[in-house]
Chain A
């Protein structure tokens, strides 16, 4: 009897702790590992002596880290400028009774479930400088470049378009869900009172879906900022470092150049910036609600 009471006492822990232990081991331990490595030197896969912030100084001042961060931010802002209006706009168009709505919605969600690597491969081939349809089109309208991905001016914007293809569906799905929670009476009243469609959106719809749109904005920001795979497969950071973003830097330092201390330092910087972005957005969200 006493043992069964003991088991009952332990039950919450038996149910909960296995998850906790696994998650801690695979998420927190490596994070601390990275933090520790970022303040130590490295000697091919072995952690060396304590060096303070020397790795950070090296990465940011001499190693081009600041330029990488700058390109990451341009990549994020450019992607957001395309992704958010597209996702929200399509959600607004889909949020009304119309024929073929289900099929349109399904097609428009497709990129969401295509992997980053496949996205990168498909677009690399679409952008191909010799035979890709996009280069062909550009040549016909008089733009003479070797190819969208091999031209230093065009490479990063081309990646933004690809990233938009992959990330707008999430914004669309979130916005659509929020729109569907708006009561029918509110819509009806707005339709009668608010005049133009834009005013209706600006003054009635947007305030009601604002927090959901902000969440989608945070997710898209972080997703884009942390993207390695698409950039790796499409340009590998080139041409001439034009698309060398910070996330790709971690991958290349860790798995191509085997400079673990630089990889760890860049990884910690990325983590810090993730936290910073999230806090900034949470404050906006709070201010919004309060």
Chain B
């Protein structure tokens, strides 16, 4: 009886703490969301107003849906698409080679690739910028795609290798017996089985590029080449801050990630932990 009593108190305490943590998570988002619907005079109301007195949708048309901001979102989407094709195409082949082939210096070369994960972005953004200027590809979406792909490939190889390792080789062997070559076997037999791995890879590529500020800032200059996060930053630095439209753009651009997360949580966890956690 007493035991059940303490267990019950323990449960309530656990719920209370979890709800407190949820409040910690949600308060900044709620404050931003609330501001995104406020008329200019309410934004600076004191004491703080959590529920706007009047709902002002103009913040969204001037922030999130402003042509300039739509351009940033389009650029981010283009770079995600380009990097998705480039990085996943490269990584899936490399991961297959690592999982199935023996070749000279395999372990050493693999170590070289994976060790680049240890190079922090902040250590190489300035040289990358200078190199891009030297080569003459600075301030193009092309260089942004290439740079993000290179950053993603090591983790993608790790992730996809984990998935390929779980596919039994017997499937490929029976395809060889049927006269399929290595390449055809890879595309026809292995790739379709890799769907969960490719989904996790896609999530990693999407979230990394959609959310990153540093590299895109370092490699682009003109307004027309800005990515989403750089665009948000420029709202703060170039114009006087208008919190209503800024929060509309901030919250609005985060919603696609939140929705995708809610729908594809398993792939998210696999992708963002590089396959270390199997969702």
0/1 string, B107-121, CB within 8 A of A gives 1: 001001100101111
Please provide the chain B residues from 97 to 135 with a CB less than 8 Å away from any CB of chain A in the complex: 97-98, 101-103, 106, 109, 112-113, 116, 118-131, 133
B90 touches A229 (CB 8 A): no
A93 to chain B, nearest CB (A): 5
B58 to chain A, nearest CB (A): 18
B236 touches A121 (CB 8 A): yes
B175 contacts partner chain A, Cβ-Cβ < 8 Å: no
A130 to B241, CA, bound (A): 14
Which chain A residue shows the least CB distance to B207? A113
B25 contacts partner chain A, Cβ-Cβ < 8 Å: yes
Q: Which of A20-28, A50-58, A62-70, A148-156 contacts the other chain?
A: A20-28
Known interface pairs A115-B211, A122-B28. Does A226 touch B91 (Cβ–Cβ under 8 Å)? no
A45 to B129, CA, bound (A): 10
A205 contacts partner chain B, Cβ-Cβ < 8 Å: no
A19 contacts partner chain B, Cβ-Cβ < 8 Å: yes
A106 contacts partner chain B, Cβ-Cβ < 8 Å: yes
Instruction: For B207, list chain A residues within 8 Å (CB).
Output: 113
A90 to B120, CA, bound (A): 29
A255 to B126, CA, bound (A): 8
Known interface pairs A173-B273, A267-B126. Does A122 touch B150 (Cβ–Cβ under 8 Å)? no
Instruction: For B28, list chain A residues within 8 Å (CB).
Output: 119, 122-123, 126, 165
Which chain B residue shows the least CB distance to A19? B94
Interface of B is mostly: helix
B15, B119, B233: the one contacting A27 at CB < 8 Å is B119
B257 touches A114 (CB 8 A): yes
A15 to B35, CA, bound (A): 51
Count of A interface residues, CB-CB < 8 Å: 84
A248 to chain B, nearest CB (A): 9
Q: Which of A73-81, A182-190, A268-276 contacts the other chain?
A: A268-276
> Can you give 13 A-B contacts (C-beta < 8 A)?
A13-B103, A15-B97, A16-B109, A18-B90, A19-B157, A26-B128, A29-B131, A31-B123, A86-B21, A118-B229, A121-B246, A132-B31, A173-B269
Identify the A interface with B (CB < 8 A): 8, 11-16, 18-20, 22-31, 33-34, 37, 45, 86, 89-90, 93-94, 96, 98, 104, 106-119, 121-123, 125-126, 130-133, 136, 165, 170, 173-174, 177, 197, 215, 222, 226, 228-229, 233, 247, 250-251, 253-255, 260, 263-264, 267-268, 270-271, 274-275, 278
Identify the B interface with A (CB < 8 A): 10-11, 14-15, 17-18, 21-22, 24-29, 31-32, 35, 43-48, 50, 90-91, 93-94, 96-98, 101-103, 106, 109, 112-113, 116, 118-131, 133, 146-147, 149-151, 153-154, 157, 182-183, 207, 210-214, 217-218, 229, 232-233, 236, 243, 246-247, 250, 253-254, 257-258, 261-262, 265, 268-269, 272-273, 276-278
